[in-house]
Amino acid sequence: MVNVLAILCAYLIGSIPSGLWIGKIFYKTDIREHGSGNLGATNTFRVLGKKAGIVVTIMDILKGTIATLLPIMPYFSDTVVHPLILGAVAAFGHMFPIFAGFRGGKAVATSGGVLLGYSWPFFVLLVIGFLISLKITKIVSLSSMVVSVIAVIYSIIYWIVTGDYALFILVVILASFIFYRHRSNIKRIREGTEPKVKWL
């Protein structure tokens, strides 16, 4: 039973629609009706501004981190579900949240949060890679996909060095999610119409 509850809890944590709630509570705005219509941090930055975007980014990251750390919490200490599986479930919840009609974000920040909970140096490396890519390209979606590729490469090296193949499998799954959710962005990038950030 504890395993089922851990998975359910991870999904519910991931389902918390940070962008939707911050927009409605503090800005009286449903971000699904503006910008790209996405519930993620990028559209929050675009519609509500930098302050709201930073808050939503942090909240989305923490969803993945908390879900990954569930096994070390008292009630779930007996679960045999791998922390990375719980993190992946949270990322799935972010993309298909029960609290927002199953229309969520693209799980970039939440996926990062999973890695923060499992290997913080890995997370720091990806944040640096993301910021460098964003500084060069000014395109959030492209930078997210670039970092996904970096994550896969790192996880392969990590697997070879440590024998931890679970991280490699998780990263490949999350990277696949991210690329799949960015299909429309890829099309706009090819057409040269993808929006660029102005604050970096």
The answer to whether 46 touches 95, Cβ cutoff 8 Å, is: no
Q: What is the pLDDT of residue 134?
A: 94
Cα 1 to Cα 4, 7, 10, 76: the distances in Å are 5, 10, 14, 10
Residue ranges of the chain with per-residue pLDDT less than 50: none
Q: What is the pLDDT of residue 190?
A: 94
Q: What is the pLDDT of residue 26?
A: 94
Q: What is the pLDDT of residue 40?
A: 86
Model pTM score? 0.90
In sequence order, which residues have a C-beta less than 8 Å from that of residue 48 and are 6 or more positions away?
22, 23, 27, 29, 31
Q: What is the pLDDT of residue 170?
A: 92
Q: What is the pLDDT of residue 42?
A: 87
Q: What is the pLDDT of residue 35?
A: 83
